[in-house]
Structure 1
Amino acid sequence: MRQVHHGCEVGHAVAELAKQVRVEREHAIVAQQQGPPLSRQMRQMEDELGVELFVRTARGIQLTEAAQSLLHDVPNILELARLARERALRAGKGMLGDLHVGIFGSGVLNVIPKLIGAFHAQRPEVRIRLRNLTKGEQIQALREHRITVGFHRLPPVEPDLAVLLVLREPMYVGMHESHALARQAEVSIRDLERQPMVLYPNTPLAGLAQEVMGAFRREKVQIAVEQEVEDVTTCVGLVCARLGLCITTESGTMLRLPGAVFRPLRSRFLKDIELSCVHRKADHSPVLAAFMEVVRGYAGDADRS
């Protein structure tokens, strides 16, 4: 960038000198101008570029081919420098750059698209890339700088990661529309005793599946786990196939698969579950700061509603 800046200055100075000594455009011959200041300025420009720009003759001062080429390129160089400066200023304000987002199952069905859409409306020139990753994969990707932010539930406490609670989502019971419990306005944990349950996600880190089993245990209700799957789409798909019932979040109810219906869950110990945004504490990029401003605004609205 510094070389470009010097090139722009020299090119601009050549153009100004050419005007001062009244370059004859057709022959590229300039009139003699007396005085050391002009000569010193010419020599300084030549030293800066490392090429001869002026030829002193008995007739005056003639521009070399290098000088003529520089004069031809000056408008383009100056415009490119202006654009580069403008882009640098916009990038410094978070208006340009890349935002890599780690997402997961049900979160992408409701809240996350709203956040990304709001951010894109404010900063349409920022390139947004989504990556579907589990909680553990997101944490690793953050530390390896492969993603900028991640969204998941029940994030573990990590010294190098910052966590912002986005909202707490209410819980629902999913079942086939032909199931007897579908006739109820709401379903309790007690209603689910010995009912075949499909749990997700089946990952080693604490998540919704562990929260569901914990709620059954605390309410002293026996849970009958029929299957454990990786994501909400597979889970609701099995519910549609009448292979069991499931407990999911409000986001999960956005999956309107044929035959699936959802009823609010009534439980003393599992009323809702958090959705959080996670990023590196040491990341001070303008794009991240701008995105987190959008997330905090949404979280504040969710608290007030």
Structure 2
Amino acid sequence: MELRHLRYFVCVADEQNIGRAALRLHISQPPLTRQIQQLEEQLGAQLLHRTSRGVELTDAGRVLYEDARNILALADRAAERTSKAAQGLLGRVDVAVFGSGIFGAIPLLLRHFRRRCPEVNIVLHNMSKEEQIDALRHQRITLAFNRLMRPVEGLTCETLLTEPLYVALPAGDPLIARTAVPLAELSDTPVVLYPTGSRPNFIDKVHALCRDCGFAPLVAQEVSDVVHAVALVATGFGVCLVPRSATAMAIPGVTYRPLHHPAQPRVDLCCIYRDGDDSPILQALLGAMRAAAAEMSPHDHSVLALPA
């Protein structure tokens, strides 16, 4: 029994007339009659009997009609889902995240993808840079987000956007009165640095910026991530520099001000994926995120320029 037989049979049952069913199926009446006869022979049951007005279902025909419609609906659904999967519109994608991007840029980029591909299940994993690289190499994830990536053999690191830097200040700090904070003003202020782990990273970026201004930062503490750093600012350990997306963290006792620096420093947000990975879901994800980044102002690629 083939799907073709079931489609022909259902059409005849719907029309209750072989002639009308033949017209609807764009075939002549004799071949359609033969197909129905072949189906009856295969099943060993009479499915239709003729009347003065056309044909009617037998008891066996009514049973097959109900099941055939369900089978054809499942077949159509399977074909549709397979087509969507081939276009990257259906399935699952595992994405690793880490750092300040999760507070601003990453949710907005993924939201853009979800609007395009609502049937793709996005599974997020919190991983350090080293864990991300290992997971990509072993195909446990499809894509990762991070910053300040060094070249890694076998992986592509694509910059999606860049963000300006802000200063996280504790309550009562006189620099809160400024509309922007010159980095040189922090030369005698304890600074919380992050993240600990593989280098280069944002710690090296902060050291380089301070060096350009003629001083070495007074390091209060080094912590694993931006959340711990801003939490320490709230408790009065010092200040810290953060990408703009981190200013979405509304932590009591912390105020953010733009960093003023002659070089107008920015930090990138990269997506990392395997070289040569042509999976449809990855290509759909990359296309959506690139489109989202392209919607930003050409002069200010900050995450807050993205549409909600």
Question: TM class by shorter-chain length?
Answer: 0.7 to 0.9
For 1:196, give the aligned amino acid.
P
Cα drift, residue 116 of structure 1: 1.3
Partner of 2:3: 8
Q: Does the 8 Å CA contact 1:167/1:302 hold for their aligned counterparts?
A: no
Classify 1:16/1:204 alpha carbon distance in 2 versus 1 (closer, same or farther; 3 Å).
Answer: closer
Distance 2:12 2:180 in 1: 84
| Match 2:179 to one of 185, 189, 193 | 185
**1:219-247 CA-partner distances (Å, limit 9, x unpaired):** 33021111111111111111010011111
For structure 2, the residue ranges without an aligned partner over 5 or more in a row are 19-33, 46-59, 300-308
For residues 73-111 of structure 1, give each alpha carbon's deviation from its aligned partner in whole angstroms, at most 9, with x where no partner exists: 433222211111111112222221112221112101111
1:152 alignment counterpart: 146
Matched ranges for 1:20-169 at <5 A: 53-54=43-44, 73-169=67-163
Give the share of equivalent positions with the same residue, in percent: 34
Question: TM-score scaled to structure 1, two decimals?
Answer: 0.77
- Amino acid aligned to 1:274: D
Any runs of at least 4 consecutive aligned residues in structure 1 with deviations exceeding 6 A, and if so which? Answer: 13-18, 66-72
Q: Which is further off, 74-83 or 108-117? A: 74-83
- Deviation (angstroms), 1:69: 7.9
CA contact (8 A) 2:147 2:201 kept: yes
Q: 1:67 to 1:121 in 2, by over 3 A?
A: same
Structure 2 vs 1, CA of residues 73 and 210 (structure 1 numbering), >3 Å: closer, same or farther?
Answer: same
RMSD value, Cα: 3.4
Offset of residue 197 of structure 1 = 0.9
Distance 2:7 2:164 in 1: 65
Write the distance in 2 (CA, Å) between the matches of 1:167 and 1:13: 55
Matched with 1:194 is 188
Q: SS of the counterpart of 1:302?
A: coil
Q: How much does 1:123 deviate?
A: 1.7
Q: Is the 8 A contact 1:236 1:246 kept in 2?
A: yes
Q: Which residue of 1 aligns with 2:280?
A: 286
CA distance in 2 between counterparts of 1:144 and 1:189 reads: 42
Q: Judge conservation of contact 1:212–1:270 (CA < 8 Å) in 2.
A: no
Distance 1:17 1:270, change over 3 A: closer
Q: Pick the structure with greater CA Rg.
A: 1
- Within the alignment, does 1:229 sit opposite 2:220 as a pair? no
Pairing 1:171–2:165 present:
yes
Describe the superposition over 1:234-270 as per-residue Cα deviations: whole angstroms up to 9, x where unpaired: 1111101001111111111111211111222223456
Query: 1:266 is matched with which residue: 252, 260, 263?
Result: 260
Query: What TM-score, normalized by structure 2, do the two folds share?
Result: 0.76
Which residue number corresponds to residue 295 of structure 1? Answer: 289
Aligned-residue offset at 1:189: 2.6
In structure 1, C-alpha distance between the alignment counterparts of 2:109 and 2:12, rounded to whole Å? 55
Cα distance in 2 between the residues matched to 1:298 and 1:166: 9
